[in-house]
Amino acid sequence: MSKNASGFIVVGERANITGSPKFARAIRSGDWGAALEIARQQVAGGASIIDVNVDEALVDGEAAMTRFLNLVASEPDIARVPVMIDSSRWSVIEAGLRCLQGRGVVNSISLKDGEAEFLRRARLLRRYGAAAVVMAFDEQGQAVTKADKVRICSRAYKLLTERAGLAPDDILFDPNVLTVATGMEEHADYAVDFFEATRIIKATLPGARVSGGISNVSFAFRGNNPVREALHTVFLHHAIRAGLDMAIVNAGMLGRYEAIEPELRDRVEDVLLNRRPDATERLVALAGDLKARQAAAADGAGAARQAAARETWRDEPVGKRLATALTRGADAFVEADTAEALKTLRPLEIIEGPLMDGMRAVGDLFGAGKLFLPQVVKSARVMKRAVALLEPLMEAERRGAAASRGRVVLATVKGDVHDIGKNIAGVVLACNGYEVHDLGVMTPCAKILSEARRLGADLIGLSGLITPSLDEMVHVARELAREGFSTPLLIGGATTSAIHTAVKIAPEYAGGVVHVLDASRVAGVAGALLSDGRERFLAENAAGQARLRGEFGARQAARKLLPLAKARTNAERVDWTRADIAEPEFTGVRVFDKVPLAEVIPFIDWTPFFSAWELTGRYPDIFKDAKTGTEAERLFADAQELLARIGREELFTPRAALGFWPANAEGDDIVLDAGRNPPVKIHCLRQQMEKPAGHRNHCLADYVAPRASGRRDFVGGFVVTAGAGVETLAARLKAEGDDYRAILARTLGDRVAEALAALFHKRARDFCGFGRTEADGGGLSREKHRGIRPAPGYPACPDHTAKRDLFALLDATAATGASLTETCAMSPASSVAGWYFNAPEAKYFGVGKIGRDQLEDYAARKGWSVAEAERWLGPWLGYDTA
């Protein structure tokens, strides 16, 4: 597992048949949708990896693991995180490893079967490119004491690194989290031994990580979730301080250490740290009346105390008030406090003193997980308002030089218009004391280089959402190298990945290329790159990327793709003589201008809204989350207020165009009868990965009646947009110094666009007849209704250029105002386009990697050269183009 600046890793534990009755029922009954939903909830709840275990006597483990992981691979919102294959049976682990599209983790291997078997399995894991969880278990049994934990892990480390060839950072030792508070005296030091063993392992086994299954610690309190949550949270607090890198835990069952009721926290720590002989009895006694205590803490007196606490900070000296206003994101008093501070301090002294103190505190709290992204962006608003008052009173150059920790140039690359993530990263950097120069969207390479040179940038950050942006990032890296730059390059955006950065971008530029997973990590990366430890950080980053390239090459060589001809023989089988083909009320195009926002709002899916702000959790359950619930409620209230204003003042202009055309499939193409000569063809790609028996190699053309069937079918298409008003509003708010609401406007624009797509898919299904009888009323869940709306550029139809045909068929620019960039990004960014397929068999899937034979076939069908096809489909190629 490669090192990054993010720190601790949470592994979601609920997709585990031994620990989740709900998951167990789903696997036993073959309810794969329910099983996938559990995995999806773990990702939404904050898991960075999902643990998958299907071990049960009555379950065919190999078949169940294979099927579940293949289904996971076709679900983009789950497949974006790695999988930990968890099994006590090696055959199940190997079955799972053969299914993984990317890198995985195996839980677990151990020495209990002897050194020879241990080394055999370790070498297999190395071949598969997987990291290994190594249990502290040997031929004599499970390690219980600190000494045994350290002894077994040290022995395993030596074998793995010296004889099996594993890299140290691919080793995750599990020194065994054991149950405390059992009433047995010999169990009292179990947690202490784990903490101390972790410290020793991290100090003496260089590069190795430490993991633990946290739920084990609280088994004595099964049925009492408040106490279990407190035990998990406090255990993690101390374990992370000791060096724990990763934990397998229910991501939704973690609280915040500081938020635990003090008496409960003290008694839990008494147990975990074995501080007194009656610790267990005292915790059991407290557990009995905990619910009553929690209710009392929430009464009117508690609320009054909280209100009083909120006001006392206003009695502090003015410098302290300014710093506190930043950490609280409270802008109501910033002008008055700044004016008061000017009576005794020069403008530069205010910036270098209380404002920078507050910014440092915000950065520290955010890095420690005690502030969330919406709060950080509100803090930036306070800072901007204060600086706006001070700026006319001082020299801008002097202020910038004094206040800045480093100068960062950010840009969304040429051809791409998406910038929410980049804007958030800019705010996070600014709140950590960096001078940020944002070049905006659609930024040509020449401008990025010239501005970086003119400004003397310490760091350059590139962002992009659509897949063609990946090639543009490679181009920028090459140009930086050609012009002799040595400035580190940061790579971020939804389609970027550590593997793509390592394989395609890093080799082009020697100045250092670092993938930044999300905005919360950017300050840590920037700090590492601009510190005395820069060379070490870059060396570790380069070494990690070299390993990723090696593993990628090994996986490419080992990946088994079917020949295209064979994959086509395993197409979806539909009896077109009896198929239910829905005929729409009309063919051609209909335009819907100025769609009332009130009709759109009920179709908003709020869960991705919170994800954009790095608050993980499923709406509305996120409001109950002990850690993020309060901030989620505040963010949601602000969103509702701004959304009401947008509707009242008609600041967004939602528009839509949709159409239907007679269609038939010809091989893997779909031919539309749109009155054009030559006819319009939708060129489709087919899955080529090997599938278990009974599973098909899907292609969108399979869902349309073939011409040979003699039946006329129909395909639809749509383009919807929230309108240019999204960017206009965001720009106005940003100019007013309100980055918080500017980003809020953009995230609402995205939600409105996606809601428009859901609304018009409902209308499209109504036009085809079957939508009017949908049991769920055509609600938000795309799993609960007939028909799909895959978008060009995404997993089922990865070629972005299909949008050109769609826009031409709908005359979409004239109808909606939306347009395409040269790389087929949609402008405004808050726009969505896609096709409608109505066959009952139609479902979402990911094409996955394709072979050279299909690439050449596709290029011929499109009338492209092979090189052009490889450029547009680069991320999906299952072979090396070098």
pLDDT score, position 776? 56
**HSE-CB of 326 using CA atoms within 13 angstroms:** 31
pLDDT score, position 621? 86
Separation of alpha carbons 634 and 302, rounded Å: 20
When pLDDT is cut at 50, 70 and 90, the band that residue 21 belongs to is confident
- Token pair 């499109």 is found at 862
Separation of alpha carbons 551 and 167, rounded Å: 12
Give one DSSP letter per residue of 364-428, joined into a string: HHHHTTSS-HHHHHHHHHHHHHHHHHHGGGS-HHHHHHHH-S-EEEEEEBTT----HHHHHHHHH
For the segment 189-217, the average pLDDT, to the nearest whole number, is 93
The pLDDT of residue 5 is above 50: no
Higher pLDDT, 171 or 280: 171
* C-alpha separations of 686 from 632, 699, 797 in Å: 41, 4, 9
3-state secondary structure of 656: strand
Residues 59-96 have pLDDT tens digits of 888 889 998 998 888 777 788 788 999 988 888 999 89
- Is the model's pTM score more than 0.95? no
Separation of alpha carbons 501 and 492, rounded Å: 9
The pLDDT of residue 101 is above 80: no
Lowest-confidence region among 115-119, 363-367, 851-855 = 363-367
The pLDDT of residue 380 is above 90: no
Is residue 418 annotated as a catalytic residue, yes or no? yes
pLDDT score, position 1? 32
The pLDDT of residue 401 is above 70: no
Separation of alpha carbons 513 and 474, rounded Å: 11
Closest CA to 603 of 745, 766, 769, 778: 778
The pLDDT of residue 709 is above 90: yes
pLDDT score, position 282? 86
Is residue 6 annotated as a catalytic residue, yes or no? no
> Out of 87, 215, 469, 831, which one is annotated catalytic?
469
Higher pLDDT, 505 or 301: 505
When pLDDT is cut at 50, 70 and 90, the band that residue 603 belongs to is very high
Structure tokens, 81: 């995180």
pLDDT score, position 467? 75
> Out of 416, 668, 702, 739, which one is annotated catalytic?
416
The pLDDT of residue 2 is above 50: no
For residues 610 and 670, the answer to whether their CB atoms sit within 8 Å is no
Higher pLDDT, 239 or 45: 239
3-state helix/strand/coil string of 198-261: HHHHHHHCCCCEEEEEHHHHHHHHCCCHHHHHHHHHHHHHHHHHHCCCEEEECCCCCCCHHHCC
CA 234 to chain CA mean position, Å: 26
* C-alpha separations of 834 from 253, 718, 789 in Å: 38, 6, 6
The type of residue at 55 is D
Residues 711-736 have pLDDT tens digits of 999 999 999 999 999 999 999 998 88
Lowest-confidence region among 88-102, 233-247, 440-454 = 88-102
Higher pLDDT, 156 or 365: 156
The pLDDT of residue 45 is above 90: no
pLDDT score, position 260? 85
Closest CA to 201 of 148, 251, 261, 275: 148
Lowest-confidence region among 233-247, 464-478, 645-659 = 464-478
For the segment 426-444, the average pLDDT, to the nearest whole number, is 86
The pLDDT of residue 334 is above 90: no
For residues 96 and 136, the answer to whether their CB atoms sit within 8 Å is no
Is residue 416 annotated as a catalytic residue, yes or no? yes
Closest CA to 98 of 116, 125, 74, 134: 125
Helical (H) or strand (E) element with 320: helix 318-328
Core vs surface per residue 495-533: b (16+ CB within 10 A) or e: bbbbbbbbbbbbbbbeebbbbbbbbbbbbbbbbbbbeee
pLDDT score, position 323? 86
Helical (H) or strand (E) element with 10: strand 9-12
When pLDDT is cut at 50, 70 and 90, the band that residue 353 belongs to is confident
> Out of 418, 515, 683, 800, which one is annotated catalytic?
418
pLDDT score, position 6? 41
Average pLDDT over the chain reads 87
Q: Where are the alpha helices (DSSP H) in 722-836?
A: 725-735, 739-767, 802-810, 812-816
For residues 143 and 175, the answer to whether their CB atoms sit within 8 Å is yes
The type of residue at 418 is H
pLDDT score, position 712? 96
* C-alpha separations of 133 from 72, 251, 370, 379 in Å: 21, 19, 29, 40
pLDDT score, position 738? 86
- Token pair 């502090």 is found at 316
Instruction: Evaluate the omega torsion of the peptide bond into residue 507 and state whether it is cis, within 30 degrees of 0.
Output: no
The pLDDT of residue 641 is above 60: yes
Lowest-confidence region among 95-99, 216-220, 675-679 = 216-220
pLDDT score, position 367? 63
> Which span out of 54-68, 312-326, 785-799 was modeled with the highest average pLDDT?
785-799
Higher pLDDT, 869 or 695: 869
Lowest-confidence region among 175-189, 342-356, 572-586, 787-801 = 342-356
For residues 759 and 832, the answer to whether their CB atoms sit within 8 Å is no
Lowest-confidence region among 543-557, 598-612, 679-693, 842-856 = 543-557
pLDDT score, position 302? 44
pLDDT score, position 707? 95
pLDDT score, position 290? 65
The pLDDT of residue 303 is above 70: no
How many other β-carbons are positioned within 10 Å of the β-carbon of residue 204?
12
Using a pLDDT cut of 90, give the percent of the chain over it. Answer: 51
The pLDDT of residue 671 is above 80: yes
What DSSP state is assigned to residue 603? G
Percentage helix, strand, coil for the chain under 3-state DSSP, each rounded to 5: 50, 15, 35
Using a pLDDT cut of 70, give the percent of the chain over it. Answer: 91
Higher pLDDT, 8 or 486: 486
Residues 551-592 have pLDDT tens digits of 877 776 666 799 999 999 999 999 999 999 999 999 999 999
pLDDT score, position 100? 83
